[in-house]
Structure 1
Amino acid sequence: MPKKPTPATKPVPTPAAAEAVTVKSAAATKSDMQGKHVFLVDGSSYIFRAYHALPPLNRKSDGLQVNAVLGFCNMLWKLLRDMPKDDKPTHLAIIFDKSEVTFRNKLYPAYKAHRPPAPDDLIPQFALIREAVKAFDLPCIEQGGFEADDLIATYVRQACERGATATIVSSDKDLMQLVTDCVTMFDTMKDRRLGIAEVIEKFGVPPEKVVEVQALAGDSVDNVPGVPGIGVKTAAQLITEYGDLETLLAQASEIKQPKRREALIENAEKARISRQLVLLDDHVALDVPLDDLAVQEPDARKLIAFLKAMEFTTLTKRVADYSEVNAAEIEPDRKNASGASSTAAKASAEAVTSDLFGSDGVAKATSAGRTRATSDTAIKTPQALAAARLEAVRKLPVDRTQYETIRTLDRLQHWIARIANHGSFVVEALAPTIDPMQAELSGIALALAPNAACYVPLNHKQAGDSAGLFAAGLAPDQIAIRDALDLLKPLLESGGHLKVGFNVKFTAVLLAQHGIVMQNNDDVELISYALDAGRGAHDLEALAQRWLDHTALNYGELIGSGRNKLAFDQVTIDRATTYAAEYAALTLRLWQVLKPRLVAERMNSVYETLERPMIATLARMERRGITIDRQVLSRLSGEFAQTAARLEAEIQKLAGEPINVGSPKQIGEIMFGKMGLPGGSKTKTGAWSTSAQILDDLAEQGHDFPRKILDWRQVSKLKSTYTDALPEYVNPQTSRVHTTYALAATTTGRLSSNEPNLQNIPVRNEEGRKIRRAFIATPGHKLVSADYSQIELRLLAEIADIPVLKQAFRDGLDIHAMTASEMFGVPVTGMPGEIRRRAKAINFGIIYGISAFGLANQLGIPREEAGTYIKKYFERFPGIRAYMDATRDFCREHGYVETLFGRKCHYPDIKSPNPSHRAFNERAAINARLQGTAADIIRRAMVRMDDALAAKKLSARMLLQVHDELIFEVPDDEVAATLPVVQHVMQDAPFPAMLLSVPLQVDARAADNWDEAH
Structure 2
Amino acid sequence: MPTLDLQSKPETLHAFSKLNAKCAATVLVLPKTLKPATLALVGESLGADEVAQNDYFVGKAGKLLSKLLSDAGLIRDTIHITNVVKVQPPANKMDRLGELGLSVNDFLPYLKEELTLVNPKAILAVGAHAMHALTGMSEITKWRGSVLNCTLLDNPIPVIPTLHPSYLQRGQMHLYPYVRHDIKTFAQVGFSIYQPPDPYEQTIEPTITQAVDFLSELLSTGTETCFDIETVAKQRITCIGWTNGPNRAICIPFRANVHTNYWSEGEQLMLLDLMRQIFAKPGLVKIGQSMHYDMHFLLPLLGFPREPLFDTRFAHFLIHPDAKHDLGFLTSVYTNMNYHKDEFKDWSQKQFPKDHTLWEYNIKDVIATHRVYRRLKADLQEEGLYDFFTGYVMPFRRVLFEMEHRGLRVDTKLMTEWREFIEQQELPVAQAVLNKMVGFELNPNSSKQVGTYLHQTLKMPVPQTALGNYTVREEVLEALIARYPKHRHILEQILCVRVLKAKELGTYLTAPLSPDGRLKCSFGSTVTGRLSSSSNHLGQGTNLQNIPPHLRQVVIPEPGQVFVEPDLSQAEVRVMAWLMNSPKLKQIFHSGEKIHKIVGGWIYDKHPNKLTPDEYLIAKRTVHGSNYDMGERKFATTIGKPVAEARLIREHYFQIVPELRAYHQYIRDTVERERKLVTPYGRSRIFTGRLDDETFRSAYAQIPQSTVVDTINIGTLALWLIKPPDIHICTQTHDSILISLPEDKVEWFRPYVKTHLETLRRVWINGDWLTIPVDIKKPKLNWYGH
Question: In the alignment, is residue 646 of structure 1 matched against residue 422 of structure 2?
Answer: no
The equivalent residue for 1:934 is: 708
Matching residue of 1:844: 624
Report deviation, 1:591.
1.0
CA gap 1:672/1:403 in 2 versus in 1, 3 angstroms:
farther
The answer to whether the 8 A contact 1:700-1:853 is kept is: yes
- The question of whether the paired residues in 1 share the 8 Å contact of 2:585 and 2:595 is answered with yes
Per the TM alignment, residue 967 of structure 1 is displaced from its structure 2 partner at its CA by: 0.8
2:497 maps to 1:497 = no
Quick one: distance in 1 between partners of 2:772 and 2:194?
Answer: 47
| Contact 2:254 2:262 (C-alpha < 8 Å) held by counterparts | no
CA gap 1:759/1:736 in 2 versus in 1, 3 angstroms: closer
The residue that corresponds to 1:1009 in the other structure is 782
Shift of 1:431: 2.9
1:68 corresponds to: none
Q: After superposition, what is the alpha-carbon deviation per residue over 1:940-975, rounded to whole angstroms, capped at 9, x for unaligned? A: 11221112324xxx7311111122121111012111
Residue 699 of structure 1 aligns to a residue whose secondary structure is helix
Query: What are the superposed Cα offsets for residues 460-499 of structure 1, whole Å, 9 maximum, x if unpaired?
Result: 5x35xxxxxxxxx425457765432211111111112111
TM-aligned CA distance change 1:835 to 1:717, over 3 Å: closer
1:593 to 369, 375, 400: 375
Does the 8 A contact of 1:428 with 1:444 survive in 2? yes
Distance in 2 between residues matched to 1:889 and 1:565, nearest whole Å = 56
395 and 729 in structure 1: CA distance in 2 versus 1, 3 angstrom threshold: farther
Deviations 1:615-641 (A, max 9, x none): 222122222322101111111112222
Amino acid at match of 1:940: I
Q: Normalising by the residue count of structure 2, what TM-score does the alignment of the two structures yield?
A: 0.69
Q: Distance in 1 between matches of 2:194 and 2:729?
A: 43
Q: Would the aligned equivalents of 1:800 and 1:879 in 2 still touch at CA under 8 Å?
A: yes
* Superposed displacement of residue 729, structure 1: 1.6
Question: What CA distance in whole angstroms lies between the structure 2 residues aligned with 1:478 and 1:722?
Answer: 45
Deviation per CA, 1:397-448, whole angstroms, max 9, x where unpaired?
Answer: 2657x422254432222112331312111112333456xxxx4333211112
Deviation at 1:980, TM superposition (A): 2.6
Quick check: 1:797–1:998 contact (8 Å CA) kept in 2? no
What's the offset of the Cα at 1:855? 4.4
SS at 1:813's partner residue?
A: coil
- Indicate the SS of the match to 1:1007: coil
Q: Which residue of 241, 246, 249 maps to 1:450?
A: 246
Aligned residues: 584
Please, which of 676, 683, 698 is the counterpart of residue 924 of structure 1? Answer: 698
Quote how far apart the aligned CAs of 1:673 are: 4.3
Distance 1:877 1:410 in 2: 73
Shift in alpha-carbon separation, 1:772–1:834, aligned structure 2, 3 A: closer
Q: 1:652 to 1:820 in 2, by over 3 A?
A: closer
In 2, distance between residues paired with 1:496 and 1:667?
60
- Give the structure 1 partner of residue 735 of structure 2: 964
2:355 pairs with 1:573: yes
1:828 is displaced (CA, Å) by: 4.0
Aligned-pair distance for 1:824?
4.3
1:623 matches 2:373: no
Which residue in 2 is equivalent to 1:885?
Answer: 665
1:316-340 deviation digits (Å, cap 9, x = unpaired): xxxxxxxxxxxxxxxxxxxxxxxxx
Alignment pair present for 1:547 and 2:320:
no
Cα distance 1:557–1:643, how it changes in 2: closer, same or farther (>3 A)? farther
Residue 140 of structure 2 corresponds to none
Is 1:676 matched with 2:459? yes
1012 and 717 in structure 1: CA distance in 2 versus 1, 3 angstrom threshold: same
Shift of 1:800: 1.1
Cα distance change, pair 673–557 in 1 and its aligned pair in 2 (3 A): farther
CA distance in 2, matches of 1:992, 1:928: 16
Q: Which structure has the larger Rg?
A: 1
Does structure 1 residue 603 correspond to structure 2 residue 385?
A: yes
Aligned counterparts of 1:867 and 1:599: Cα–Cα separation in 2: 46
- Unaligned segments of structure 2, at least 5 residues: 1-183, 536-540
- Kindly tell me: are residues 578 and 634 of structure 1, through their superposed partners in 2, closer, same or farther at Cα, counting changes over 3 Å? same
Aligned mate of 1:809, from 577, 589, 597: 589
Alignment partner, residue 723 of structure 2: 949
Cα 1:787–1:990 shift into 2, 3 Å: same
Shift of 1:649: 3.5
Whole-angstrom distance in 2 between the partners of 1:736 and 1:859: 37
Question: CA–CA distance in 2 between the matches of 1:780 and 1:867?
Answer: 52
Task: Tell whether 2:487 aligns with 1:487.
Answer: no
- Separation in structure 2 between the aligned mates of residue 558 and residue 501 of structure 1, nearest angstrom: 16
- Specify the code of the residue in structure 2 equivalent to 1:894: E
Q: What do residues 150-207 of structure 1 show as CA deviations (whole Å, max 9, x unaligned)?
A: xxxxxxxxxxxxxxxxxxxxxxxxxxxxxxxxxxxxxxxxxxxxxxxxxxxxxxxxxx
TM-aligned CA distance change 1:779 to 1:601, over 3 Å: closer
Name the residue aligned to 1:300: none
Q: State the secondary structure of the residue aligned to 1:403.
A: strand
Task: Report which stretch shifted further, 985-994 or 629-638.
Answer: 985-994
Partner Cα distance (1:605, 1:559) in 2? 35
Tell me by how many angstroms 1:555 deviates.
4.4
1:329-728 to structure 2, matched below 5 A, reads: 395-397=195-197, 399=199, 402-419=201-218, 420-432=220-232, 439-459=235-255, 462=257, 473-477=259-263, 481-519=268-306, 520-534=308-322, 536-555=323-342, 558=345, 564-565=349-350, 571-641=353-423, 642-678=425-461, 680-701=462-483, 702=485, 703-704=487-488, 705-726=490-511, 728=512
- One-letter amino acid of the counterpart of residue 986, structure 1: L
**Equivalent residues of 1:842, 1:870 under 8 A apart:** yes
Change (3 A) 1:874 1:992: closer
Query: Deviation of residue 886 (structure 1)?
Result: 1.6
CA contact (8 A) 2:521 2:544 kept: no
- State the distance in 2 between where 1:668 and 1:549 align: 49
Report SS of the residue matched to 1:748.
Answer: coil
Q: Report the TM-score when normalising by structure 1.
A: 0.54
Q: CA deviation at 1:556?
A: 6.7
% identical equivalent positions: 20
2:577: which partner in 1? 797
CA distance in 2, matches of 1:669, 1:858: 25
Shift of the 601–723 alpha-carbon distance from structure 1 to 2, 3 Å rule, reads closer
C-alpha distance in 2 between matches for 1:543 and 1:666? 43
Q: Which amino acid aligns with 2:755?
A: H
Deviation at 1:588, TM superposition (A): 0.8
Q: In structure 1, what is the equivalent of residue 680 of structure 2?
A: 900
**What displacement does 1:578 show?**
1.0
* SS at structure 1 position matched to 2:324: coil
TM-aligned CA deviation for residue 860 of structure 1: 4.3
Superposed CA deviations along residues 191-228 of structure 1, whole A, max 9, x for unmatched, are xxxxxxxxxxxxxxxxxxxxxxxxxxxxxxxxxxxxxx
Deviations 1:719-758 (A, max 9, x none): 44445433x32333xx43332212xx41111111121234
Structure 1, unpaired ranges of 5+: 1-386, 464-472, 763-767, 912-917
Label 1:428 to 1:996 Cα distance change in 2 as closer, same or farther (>3 A).
Answer: farther
> How much has 1:667 moved relative to structure 2?
2.5
1:894–1:709 CA distance, 2 compared to 1 (3 A): farther
Cα deviations across residues 643-671 of structure 1 (Å, max 9, x unaligned)?
33333344444555555432223333332
2:544 equivalent to 1:759? yes
Instruction: Give the aligned residue type for 2:514.
Output: V
What residue number does 1:166 align with? none
Q: Distance in 1 between matches of 2:553 and 2:332?
A: 46
Q: Deviations over 1:819-849 (max 9, x none)?
A: 2344444334555555434322312222343
2: distance between equivalents of 1:433 and 1:801? 55
Seen in structure 2, the aligned counterparts of structure 1 residues 523 and 996 have a Cα distance that, compared at 3 Å, is farther
User: C-alpha offsets along residues 247-289 of structure 1, whole Å, 9 cap, x if unaligned?
Assistant: xxxxxxxxxxxxxxxxxxxxxxxxxxxxxxxxxxxxxxxxxxx
Distance 1:889 1:685, change over 3 A: farther
Q: 1:809, 1:999 within 8 Å by CA — same for their partners in 2?
A: no
Amino acid at match of 1:729: L
Aligned residue identity for 1:713: R
Among 632, 645, 650, the alignment partner of 1:870 is 650
